[in-house]
Amino acid sequence: MRPQAIAAVGRVHQSPHGNPTGAHATARRARRWLEEARESVAALAGRDPVEVCFTSGGTEADDLAVSGFAERGTVVCGATEHHAVLYPTDRAGGRVVAVGPDGGIDLDALAEALDPSVALVSVMLANNETGRVTDLDAVAAVVTEHAPEARLHTDAVQAGAWLDLDVAASAADLVSLSAHKLGGPMGIGALVARRQAEPPPRVLGGGQERGRRSGTQNVAGAVGFAAAAEALGAERPAMVERIRGLRDRMEDELMAAIDSVTSTVPRRHRLPGTCHLVIDGVSAESMIVLLDEAGIAASAASSCASGAAGASHVLSAMGRDLGAASTVRLSLGWCSTPDEVDHVLDALPGIVDGLRARRSTTARA
């Protein structure tokens, strides 16, 4: 978490505050904090505060959009979406559109999947495994031509930390965000929906969030989310430059030091913090364990699904048959340092050599 977010969450927990729906002074204080937080999150998304509906995170925001619109018509999504979009689409009997070998949604296949029955098209702004960024304007043009009544939703959970959403997500009617991807606390997110594109509520009860999502709001979470969003907004261009430089150096040097390594997505289509490599002749599981022992928190696929050790639906959708190869994802964040990159460069080539040597010894025996 960013220090500003930690401090902001602490300030809320340390001050007496009531339920933001109440009438007394402590409740009004909570309500003021919540509404100020809404303004900061809206500013991050380049939208109006009234469009921000706080949720428990990205998963709930995705489900609110997809399952909500499934009540109104057919839902269509891309094959590499996070399961928070894929599973509700599947449950609703929706359509899943193929992606190309570089992970980008196939616009011809999208056009074929659209008709007047479609209520929502959901295409993520950036993929959580590969970092593949979508040109949402191109997607919106296809939607406008083939299903003009449909709304466009984007899962911007990964993109929020890196891209100017005001520009990159402007074509979307609904945008999902999660605080923990941008240095805020876990357990808070938002669905930002234009007034004419609000989904029907999923959680009914006290009518909070203008009836869009009932339940007493997570005031400390929202304030922490806002503090992270403000800190990010102030430093984004410099941070993106710095992290892109570190990521490029790490990737270039790993590719020079290790034979038979490829990247899943070209850099020009990728988020600045993602390095996702395919390495021949090693087991992902052993590599991740050895990296962990070296103090490096890497993953093979996504980190936000329980039991993520299984095959990646993202790579299969891209037509990547891994055979004897494995993937490793080394994601950098706002607080990554040159020393950490050096540590990866010291550790990973030796780990790969060791695993390959062990494999060839076992094969000979």
Residue of 74, 86, 82 lying closest to 115 (CA atoms): 74
Output 38 or 180, the one with its CB closest to ligand PLP. 180
Single residue of 74, 89, 122, 128 touching ligand PLP by CB under 6 A: 128
What DSSP element (H or E) covers 175? strand 174-178
String marking each residue 273-312 x if it binds ligand PLP according to CB under 6 A? -------------------------------x--------
Please tell me the count of residues contacting ligand PLP according to CB under 6 A. 15
Cβ contacts of 20 within 8 Å, gap of 6 or more: 27, 30, 31, 33, 34, 208, 216, 217, 219
Q: Smallest distance, Å, CB 178 to ligand PLP?
A: 3
Q: Smallest distance, Å, CB 77 to ligand PLP?
A: 12
| DSSP line for 48-100 | -GGGEEEESSHHHHHHHHHHHHHTTSEEEEETTS-HHHHHHHHHTT-EEE-B-
Helix (H, G, I), strand (E, B) or coil at 262: strand
- Measure the CA–CA gap between 154 and 122, rounded to whole angstroms: 6
Interhelix angle 3-14/219-257, nearest 10 degrees: 160
With beta carbons less than 8 A apart as the criterion, state whether 65 and 120 touch: yes
String marking each residue 148-187 x if it binds ligand PLP according to CB under 6 A? -------x-xx-------------------x-x-------
- Establish if 221 lies at the interface with ligand PLP (CB under 6 A): no
Query: Can you read off the two tokens belonging to residue 47?
Result: 């939208």
- Establish if 84 lies at the interface with ligand PLP (CB under 6 A): yes
Residue of 189, 42, 200 lying closest to 119 (CA atoms): 200
Cβ contacts of 2 within 8 Å, gap of 6 or more: 183, 184, 227, 228, 231, 232, 334, 335
**Considering only residues 31-60, where is the footprint of ligand PLP by CB under 6 A?**
57-59
Q: Smallest distance, Å, CB 83 to ligand PLP?
A: 8
Output 150 or 159, the one with its CB closest to ligand PLP. 159
Angle formed at CA 21 by CA 17 and CA 26, multiple of 5 degrees: 25
Q: Smallest distance, Å, CB 86 to ligand PLP?
A: 10
Output 99 or 254, the one with its CB closest to ligand PLP. 99
Q: Smallest distance, Å, CB 342 to ligand PLP?
A: 27
Residue of 69, 260, 307 lying closest to 173 (CA atoms): 69
Output 304 or 344, the one with its CB closest to ligand PLP. 304
Output 58 or 282, the one with its CB closest to ligand PLP. 58
Residue 22 phi, psi (nearest 5): -75, 180
User: What is the identity of the amino acid at 119?
Assistant: A
Distance of CA 119 to the CA centre of its chain: 23
By beta carbon distance, the residue nearest ligand PLP is 58
Single residue of 105, 120, 124, 298 touching ligand PLP by CB under 6 A: 124
Annotated active-site residue 275? The verdict is no
**Considering only residues 315-344, where is the footprint of ligand PLP by CB under 6 A?**
none
- Establish if 63 lies at the interface with ligand PLP (CB under 6 A): no
- Measure the CA–CA gap between 332 and 272, rounded to whole angstroms: 8
Output 4 or 178, the one with its CB closest to ligand PLP. 178
- Among residues 53, 77, 304, 335, the one annotated as catalytic is 304
Residues classed as catalytic: 304
Binding site for ligand PLP (CB under 6 A): 57-59, 62, 82, 84, 124, 128, 155, 157-158, 178, 180, 189, 304
